[in-house]
């Protein structure tokens, strides 16, 4: 409820905590186990949007099977191609 939302905001206050913030809050929208699963342009990822009251734990699914890391979608494939182009061209590095 609102108590959990307040706790999350308090625990993520960089201005007060600096580098003492629990690292479990970083990049949480990238994994299904994270508390802050943010919106996405990819519909299969968008289905999992939400905020949970707990931090990510080291449990299933393995990152290769995580539904938020769908490597079969067109956006992912396009970015991979752009990265390869950039890496192959000295002027773009």
Residue among 25, 28, 32, 27 at smallest CA distance from 10: 25
Query: Rounded CA gap, 44 and 85, in Å?
Result: 27
| pLDDT for the residue 86 | 92
Mean pLDDT across 5-20: 71
Instruction: Give tens-digit pLDDT for 71-90.
Output: 888 888 999 999 999 999 88
Supply the pLDDT for residue 88. Answer: 93
């Amino acid at each position: 409820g609102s108590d959990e939302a307040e706790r999350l905001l308090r625990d993520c206050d960089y201005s007060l905590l600096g580098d003492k913030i629990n690292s479990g809050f970083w990049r949480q929208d990238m994994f299904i186990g994270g508390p802050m699963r943010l919106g996405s342009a990819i519909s299969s990822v968008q289905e999992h949007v939400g905020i949970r009251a707990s931090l990510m734990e080291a449990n299933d699914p393995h990152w290769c099977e995580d539904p938020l890391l769908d490597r079969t979608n067109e956006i992912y494939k396009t970015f991979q191609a752009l990265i390869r182009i950039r890496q192959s061209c000295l002027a773009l590095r």
